A and B are shown apart, each in its own frame.
Chain A
Amino acid sequence: NAGVTQTPKFRILKIGQSMTLQCTQDMNHNYMYWYRQDPGMGLKLIYYSVGAGITDKGEVPNGYNVSRSTTEDFPLRLELAAPSQTSVYFCASSYEGGIFGKLFFGSGTQLSVL
């Protein structure tokens, strides 16, 4: 099993550019999440999904969009990138939300907006 796969691992964007961070999981998990991790800070929730076709905002959703057309995929879209979006982005999934406590994380995407 590959688990949670994120691409790309690194990316540099210019201000105003757009991009999509890809996330796919092969564990048939219903719950998927996008977090961002800023230096010296914990992870903050951007968006989450409890199943295909269902998404909801987290703590810091501004500047991002998501979609969940399949159970496996949960892409994160950045529109009009800004320097404040420089961060490490983590995608995660779990079988039943946090009930069983185990979130499976991808290896992260380091994004720099210059």
Chain B
Amino acid sequence: AQTVTQSQPEMSVQEAETVTLSCTYDTSENNYYLFWYKQPPSRQMILVIRQEAYKQQNATENRFSVNFQKAAKSFSLKISDSQLGDTAMYFCAFMKVSGYALNFGKGTSLLVTP
């Protein structure tokens, strides 16, 4: 079974600053997908960014980027120029290439302060 660990239950960052959220995972698979989902207070789950394990290049989406270290099984999310609207729970998730569903970590609550 795959496990996803987010070791930071809560984090805070000031507006315009940069913050990094950590995620590690455990798997024996060689090919898989990793994701970061955002859950704002509205409870809606929103895909932030996605990484294919076979790609060495780190994924980026505007102010969001990842640091994917396959050997270390690490997948951190960097948010640059933090905005108040980034306040949310952030979930790291894993999926096997042959799988059907996501395995989620417990989440990191991020608070962006003025």
Contacts and interface: CB of A to CB of B under 8 A. Distances in A.
B99 A97 contact: yes
Contacts of A78: none
Most central of A33, A50, A92, A97 by chain B CB within 10 Å: A97
A105 interface: yes
Interface string B15-53: 000000000000000000101000000111101001000
A12 B9 CA distance: 29
For chain B, which range describes its interface: under 10, 10 to 19, 20 to 34, or 35 or more residues? 20 to 34
Interface-central residue, A31, A44, A48, A105, by most chain B CB under 10 Å: A105
Contacts of B35: 101
B106 interface: yes
A33 B95 CA distance: 14
Contacts of A90: 45
Interface residues of A, number: 25
Interface string A71-106: 000000000000000001010100001110111010
Contacts of A48: 100-101
A76 to B, nearest CB: 15
A42 B100 contact: no
Contacts of A107: 42-44
B68 interface: no
B91 interface: yes
B84 interface: no
Contact of B44 (A31, A33, A105): A105
Contacts of B6: 42
A11 to B, nearest CB: 15
Interface string A57-77: 010000000000000000000
Contacts of B42: 107
Given A42-B4, A42-B107, A98-B33, A103 B102 contact: yes
Contacts of B107: 40-42
B102 A98 contact: yes
7 contacts: A41-B107, A48-B100, A48-B101, A98-B95, A98-B101, A98-B102, A103-B102
Please list the 3 inter-chain residue pairs (A to B) with the smallest Cβ-Cβ separation, ordered nearest first: A42-B104, A101-B50, A105-B45
